[in-house]
């Protein structure tokens, strides 16, 4: 195996150097438990667009085939395939308006390495999908800045030129109308769009593309499956993946933590290896590509899967962490690739409380619970309530409900039901016919 996949403690840490990859289910072959024993992705190469700072396409730990090549374009100064880009041989550089997405920052190469570093070549690290084709679309310059028009154009490019997965480890507070429309377009065309939740420790709903409905929003977790403090949270978060001290590829002559001016960082501190070819970094930027990589492996395993099925397989099989059930820190939980690769594409069991509001009807006050209780084979659902912020026990608050519902009023309570405390935890539990349950919690604060 690759030396840095096997090693641990290289920079004095207590974990494997590639703890994140192992955490999500890519362990040594021969154990019967590794995701790679189901597929390594090589049988069916899947194009993954990395919309970022570019790529070091000469990196020795990337298979030459990993860099996507436009099959219908030649270097002749003519737009052979008529896609509007002249000589776009391996992607496009939307920053400078040319065909060279060379990475002068390092961020995009790091993201690309998580997805598709050369596993099993006896050098460096391993990546999630050995067969992936990375379509590098450069939208950010050497200090990680770019225009939103470039991001929108890159999303269209990826969609029109065969990408089945788009990784967006970029973003800021604002999302432009053009970006929103581009994401909607890619979604309509069946592309899986994966977005980092952002690193401002705030609500991802207000963090650019991470707050758009049609994307998979990825938060970052640590070695104990806890959300890392910088990782944005909120109802927009769908899933979490490792995002601390993630080891990947270093683009030649880059040190992006230094350029970003991270407090207390000394130049070269995150560079790894005697040849200085590797780099470790923390952020939701490096959690998202684990999800993109696994999405591409699912498609490699079964190219007929659609985006909805791919998403469902990852979300429904995620390992529940933080508060039981779907929560605002980690969504469905931490990505589990081995489980996702074994998941039934049709299976789902959902429980979600979107809102709890006080309404008045016929001069009577009512507490209305809005949400979703649904499954592909729905058995039943019910709501329980517990007193205080951390209830020691829950009591039944509703009858057993036999009909699935989506995005609608699940129940109305008489406020009198909730006496003796101004804080209650509501717990919605949905049960699948096969016995699997999922729950969602909501903190009810009474005035």
Residue from 26, 36, 57, 85 touching Ca ion (CB under 5 A): that is 85
205 binds Ca ion (CB under 5 A): no
Tell me whether residue 148 or residue 231 sits nearer to Ca ion (CB atom). Answer: 231
2 binds Ca ion (CB under 5 A): yes
Determine the size of the site formed for Ca ion (CB under 5 A). 20
Residue from 37, 80, 184, 206 touching Ca ion (CB under 5 A): that is 80
CA nearest to 61, candidates 95, 27, 97, 110: 110
Residue from 179, 245, 327, 431 touching Ca ion (CB under 5 A): that is 327
160 binds Ca ion (CB under 5 A): no
Q: How far is the CB of 183 from Ca ion (least distance, A)?
A: 23
Residue from 56, 87, 238, 352 touching Ca ion (CB under 5 A): that is 87
| Residue 432 annotated among the catalytic residues of the structure | no
Q: CB-hemisphere CA count at 13 Å for 365?
A: 8
206 binds Ca ion (CB under 5 A): no
The pairing of beta strand 192-196 with beta strand 216-221: parallel
Beta bridge partners of 366: 359
Instruction: Give yes or no for a contact between 133 and 293, defined as CB atoms under 8 angstroms apart.
Output: no
Binding residues among 399-428 for Ca ion as defined by CB under 5 A: none
One-character DSSP codes across 184-215: HHHHHTT-EEEEE--SSSSBGGGSGGGG-TTS
Residue nearest to Ca ion (CB): 2
Tell me the C-alpha distance between 157 and 22, whole Å: 33
Q: Where do the DSSP E strands lie in 35-159?
A: 47-52, 91-93, 133-138
Q: 409-427: b or e for each residue (b if 16 or more CB lie within 10 Å)?
A: ebbebeeeebeeeeebbbb
| Residue 87 annotated among the catalytic residues of the structure | no
Q: How far is the CB of 62 from Ca ion (least distance, A)?
A: 9
1 binds Ca ion (CB under 5 A): no
Q: Which of 153, 285, 292, 317 is catalytic?
A: 285
Using a 10 angstrom Cβ sphere, with 0-12 exposed, 13-18 middle and 19 or more buried, the burial of residue 447 is exposed
83 binds Ca ion (CB under 5 A): yes
Contact range with Ca ion by CB under 5 A, out of 39-47, 320-328, 364-372, 390-398: 320-328
Binding residues among 120-139 for Ca ion as defined by CB under 5 A: 121, 123-124
Spatial CB neighbours of 216, under 8 Å, sequence gap ≥ 6: 192, 193, 194, 195, 238, 239, 291, 295, 311, 314, 315
78 binds Ca ion (CB under 5 A): yes
Tell me whether residue 315 or residue 367 sits nearer to Ca ion (CB atom). Answer: 315
Q: How far is the CB of 118 from Ca ion (least distance, A)?
A: 4
Q: How far is the CB of 251 from Ca ion (least distance, A)?
A: 16
Q: How far is CA 10 from the centre of its chain?
A: 27
238 binds Ca ion (CB under 5 A): no
Q: How far is the CB of 373 from Ca ion (least distance, A)?
A: 17
Tell me whether residue 78 or residue 358 sits nearer to Ca ion (CB atom). Answer: 78
The pairing of beta strand 378-387 with beta strand 423-432: antiparallel
Token pair of 96, please? Answer: 């400078």
Chain position carrying tokens 């779907």: 326
Token pair of 179, please? Answer: 């970006």
Q: How far is the CB of 359 from Ca ion (least distance, A)?
A: 29
Q: How far is the CB of 85 from Ca ion (least distance, A)?
A: 4
Residue from 17, 52, 56, 61 touching Ca ion (CB under 5 A): that is 61
Contact range with Ca ion by CB under 5 A, out of 151-159, 327-335, 396-404, 411-419: 327-335
Tell me the C-alpha distance between 377 and 441, whole Å: 22
| Residue 285 annotated among the catalytic residues of the structure | yes
Interacting residue ranges for Ca ion, rule: CB under 5 A: 2, 61, 73-74, 76, 78-81, 83, 85, 87-88, 118, 121, 123-124, 320, 322, 327
Task: Show which residues are catalytic.
Answer: 52, 107, 285
């Amino acid at each position: 195996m690759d030396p840095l996949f096997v090693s641990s403690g290289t920079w004095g840490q207590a974990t494997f150097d590639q703890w994140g990859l192992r955490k999500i289910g890519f362990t040594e072959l021969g154990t019967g438990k590794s995701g790679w024993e189901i597929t390594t992705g090589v049988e069916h190469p899947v194009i993954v667009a990395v919309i970022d700072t570019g790529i070091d396409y000469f990196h020795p730990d990337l298979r030459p085939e990993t860099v996507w090549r436009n099959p219908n374009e030649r270097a002749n100064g003519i737009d052979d395939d008529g896609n509007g880009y002249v000589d776009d041989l391996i992607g496009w550089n939307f920053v400078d308006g040319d065909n060279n997405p060379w990475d002068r920052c390092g961020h995009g190469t790091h993201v690309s390495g998580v997805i598709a570093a050369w596993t099993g070549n006896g050098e460096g690290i391993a990546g999630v999908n050995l067969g992936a084709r990375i379509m590098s679309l450069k939208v950010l310059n050497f200090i990680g800045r770019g225009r939103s028009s470039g991001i929108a154009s890159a999303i269209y490019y990826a969609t029109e030129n065969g990408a089945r997965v788009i990784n967006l480890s970029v973003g800021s507070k604002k999302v432009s109308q053009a970006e929103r429309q581009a994401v909607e377009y890619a979604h309509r065309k069946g592309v899986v769009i994966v977005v980092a939740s952002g690193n401002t420790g705030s609500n991802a709903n207000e963090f650019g593309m991470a707050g758009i409905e049609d994307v998979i929003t990825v938060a970052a977790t640590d070695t104990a499956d806890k959300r890392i403090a910088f990782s944005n949270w909120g109802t927009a978060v769908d899933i979490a993946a490792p995002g601390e001290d993630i080891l990947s590829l270093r683009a030649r002559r880059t040190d992006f933590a230094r350029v970003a001016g991270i407090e207390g960082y000394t130049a070269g501190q995150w560079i790894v290896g005697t040849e200085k070819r590797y780099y470790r970094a923390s952020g939701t930027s490096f959690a998202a590509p684990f999800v993109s990589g696994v999405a591409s492996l699912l498609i490699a395993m079964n190219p007929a899967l659609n985006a909805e099925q791919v998403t469902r397989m990852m979300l429904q099989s995620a390992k529940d962490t933080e508060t039981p059930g779907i929560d605002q820190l980690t969504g469905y939980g931490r990505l589990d690739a081995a489980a996702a690769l074994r998941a039934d594409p049709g299976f789902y069991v959902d429980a979600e409380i979107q809102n709890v509001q006080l309404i008045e009807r016929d001069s009577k006050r009512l507490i209305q619970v809005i949400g979703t209780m649904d499954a592909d084979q729905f058995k039943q659902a019910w709501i329980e309530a517990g007193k205080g912020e951390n209830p020691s026990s829950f009591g039944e608050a509703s009858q057993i409900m036999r009909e699935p519902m989506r995005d609608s009023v699940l129940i109305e309570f008489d406020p009198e039901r909730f006496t003796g405390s101004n804080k209650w935890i509501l717990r919605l539990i949905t049960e699948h016919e096969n016995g699997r349950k999922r729950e969602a919690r909501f903190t009810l604060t009474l005035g």
